[in-house]
Amino acid sequence: MLLEGKKAIITGGSRGIGRALCEVFAREGADIAFNYNKSDERAAATVDRIESFGRRGLAFKTSVTDRPAINKMVREIVHQFGRIDILVNNAAINRGDNFATMTERAWDEVIDTNVNGLFNVTKPVFKQMLRQRSGNILNLSSIGALRALPTAVHYATSKAAVIGFTKCLSREGAPFGVTVNAIAAGIFDTDLSDALPDRLLEMHRFWCARGRRGHPEELAEFAAFMVSERNSYMIGEVITIDGGSIT
The total of other beta-carbon atoms located within 10 Å of residue 4's CB is 11
How is 196-247 classified by DSSP, letter by letter? S-HHHHHHHHHHBTT-SPBPHHHHHHHHHHHTSTT--S--S-EEEESS-B--
What is the identity of the amino acid at 51? Answer: E
Residues labelled catalytic: 155
C-beta contacts of 225-234 below 8 A and 24+ residues apart: 225/2, 226/136, 226/138, 226/181, 226/183, 227/3, 227/8, 227/25, 227/86, 227/88, 227/136, 227/138, 228/2, 228/3, 228/28, 228/136, 230/2, 231/179, 234/179, 234/181
Measured CA to CA, the distance from residue 126 to residue 175 in angstroms comes to 13
